[in-house]
Amino acid sequence: MPKIKAIGFDWSGVVFFHPTKYNKMVPEFLNISKEKFSDSYYQHNHLINTKHTDPKEFWTIVFTDLGHESRVDEFIEALNNLPKGKYNEKILLLLTLLKSKNYKLGLFSNHTAAGAKEAREFGVDDLFDVTLFSAEVGVMKSHPEAYLLLAEKLGVDISEMIYIDDTPHNLDKAHEIGFEPILYTDMESLLQRLQELDILTASEIEKL
């Protein structure tokens, strides 16, 4: 395995915790299955994650597909009333440690233009050497070009990069594309995997 020089991170669910996720909120809101929502959402989410589609226009498409067009305005209002999210404080400590060990740090997020703007207002650019959002670069995970672009911007070969994501689908073709994947479920398992990959030592993990 090539020497790892860079580590990429997902935004929502890894670096930053939002109060709820669409795959939980929408099924509960419409009283439908998560599977039914996911089928529709992932069919259309490129519209908002790689183009400057208005959020209301996007959710109108999804809700129409699901047979609930009449509830779009009610849902948009519920979205607007959600509390702000917060950083994963333990990830922030990890980023500081990785920087001290001279790893290049990058972020690639499937996110809307509005979401990217919000993340920048939270100071995301101060945490990473490279910060990419799908709506700004026109490509989204799990397309190979997303990971290749991140590696290119970080100045490393794709084989020298780890990428951490909380969505299994985004990591399905990792080895085919050429990077080392880590599925984020919790900090303990993440740190254990980073130790297995010789990124962190046991003593460094104890100090986190």
Quick: pLDDT tens for 4-46.
999 999 999 999 998 888 889 999 999 999 999 999 998 999 9
Residues recorded for the chain? 208
Mean pLDDT of 82-87: 90
Q: What is the pTM of this model?
A: 0.88
Instruction: Measure the CA–CA gap between 70 and 157, rounded to whole angstroms.
Output: 48
- Sort strands 6-9 and 104-109 into parallel, antiparallel or unpaired: parallel
Q: What is the pLDDT of residue 53?
A: 82
The stretches of 138-186 forming alpha helices (DSSP H) are 144-154, 174-177
**Average pLDDT score, the chain:** 95
Is pLDDT at 52 greater than 80 in this prediction?
no
Triad 38, 12, 33: Cα angle to 5°: 20
> pLDDT category, 57, cuts 50, 70, 90?
very high
Contact between 14 and 184 (Cβ < 8 Å): yes
Instruction: Measure the CA–CA gap between 135 and 133, rounded to whole angstroms.
Output: 6
Q: What is the pLDDT of residue 208?
A: 87
